[in-house]
Chain A
Amino acid sequence: MQQFESRPQTILLPVKPAFIVFTLIAALLTNLLPWSGWLLAIKPDFVALVTLYWWIQQPRRVGFTAAMLLGLAMDVADGSLFGQHALAYSMLAFAGIVLHRRVLGFTMKDQILHVIPLLLANDIIVLVIRKSAGADFPGVTYFIGSCLAGALWPSLCYLLRLPQIPKPDPDHV
């Protein structure tokens, strides 16, 4: 079986904290773009996706603090209930950190099958909070974003790993 994980025998460079912060802010910015219409309806939650990547890859560096801060920022930007994203992201952080060894052992295809349920669980937490606060279920399209996010997972992994791949050494024979 061709495994994405085991194929490169190169040892990855340590990730720079500044790069993590940069990607998290970029994810937040992507979420804050003026989405509208059907694009808004199917938009994946990029913050959840990117932080999930870091929780799985670097659970010692990115943790619950990031979950809370990004969650509160999303709540204010969306004008939703204060704390709903914070709670959902904390749960997602827990799942990502606890499962990180397991997820990394799988092929990319099987990783997607881990990521989609985690993101759907994230959606369901938000849904339960809003339902208990008196909102209506917005329809099944609500879940499309998370399924799309799963499809984006391989390309996201590739992109976020690029800075860690060492440059070929010219002196190497």
Chain B
Amino acid sequence: MEYTPPPLFNRGPTPLVRLVLCSLLSIGLLVADARFQYLDNIREAVAIVVYPLQRLAGTPAAIFDRIGDFFVTQARLRNDNNRLAEQNLQNAAKLRLFEALSAENAHLRELLAARERIPATTTAAEVLYGGRDPFTRRVIVDKGQQSDIKPGQPVIDEIGVVGQVTRVYPWLSEVTLITDKEQVVPVQNLRNGLRAVLAGTGNDGELELKFIPLNADFQNGDQLVTSGIDGVYPPGLPVAAVSNVERNAAYLFARIACKPLAGVASHTQVLIVNWENKAPERPTPPEKSGAPKKRRGA
């Protein structure tokens, strides 16, 4: 005879069993995400579901901003207008000079048979909100796959480098700021051309030059620009200024603290740079030394 317990007290698995199941599932997800980066598709699917909520949550602040914009005083607008007109005039003069110089530069490069520099195009994006994860330094911007944003593209503002696109969703993307602990930018000292690696510290407004020998020529106030040898950042973008150099013979390397030039923690508008460095192909390694070994192994 079949016996089934009455459904009255049927509660399904105990909480402990459910906890173990959920924990195993979460840990599986964690490992797959952290170690193997397998989950981009699932993440994207969840992102599409969460996206309307994110926009909805951002709406009150956006409306508030708009109301604030509406009540700007005329005096302030006129001040802004004057300032911008003046700036425009100054920039125009610089632009003329720049055009002449770039024409000359192109000509000289042609003479030297050097590779042409690739012009970069930019996409303007708006910062929706700062990352809420206290362990990383990230912001979310309002352009994504639909605007042809790709992971790895550098992000700048009107002064210099802000960060790099690290994850792209259909309508949003995540920008890791250069102050993030794991973010590294290859830079060059503008004064003497020394190359170095600039790493974030995890604190706002603080960067650090890594692995600089004690006797290297870095001084307070030195401007650091991207070197471009990584093929990710276009060369010549301002990144940071050296703020403190500490040479202690007890350590192997000098401790060089820098301050980011761009408003890394405070901007609302950024530019995403679309720049593909068409580097010459890597030379194929000679196969002679490798081939016989393989045969011997087999």
Contacts and interface: CB of A to CB of B under 8 A. Distances in A.
Interface of A: 25, 28-36, 40-41, 43, 60, 63-64, 67-68, 71-73, 75-84, 86-87, 90-91, 93-94, 97-98, 129-130, 133-136, 138, 142
B26 interface: yes
Contacts of A136: 135, 181, 202
A32 B27 CA distance: 24
A28 to B, nearest CB: 6
Contact of B53 (A28, A35, A134): A28
Given A68-B25, A83-B27, 8 more contacts: A29-B56, A32-B54, A35-B132, A64-B18, A79-B167, A79-B174, A80-B136, A84-B30
A77 B50 contact: yes
Contacts of B130: 34-36, 40
A67 B202 contact: no
Given A34-B61, A94-B16, A78 B26 contact: no
29 contacts: A32-B54, A33-B60, A33-B61, A35-B130, A35-B132, A40-B130, A68-B22, A71-B26, A72-B46, A73-B46, A73-B49, A75-B46, A76-B46, A77-B50, A78-B131, A79-B133, A79-B174, A80-B133, A80-B135, A81-B33, A82-B33, A83-B25, A83-B28, A86-B29, A90-B23, A94-B18, A94-B19, A136-B181, A138-B134
Contacts of A40: 130, 132
B117 interface: no
Nearest to B166: A79
Contacts of B182: 134
Contact of A135 (B22, B58, B132, B181): B181
B30 A82 contact: yes
Interface of B: 11, 15-16, 18-19, 21-23, 25-30, 32-34, 39, 42-43, 46-47, 49-50, 53-54, 56-58, 60-61, 128-136, 138, 140, 167, 174, 181-182, 202
Nearest to A85: B26
Contacts of A75: 46
Contacts of A71: 26
Contact of B132 (A67, A78, A98): A78
A83 B129 contact: no
Contacts of B27: 83, 87
A69 to B, nearest CB: 9
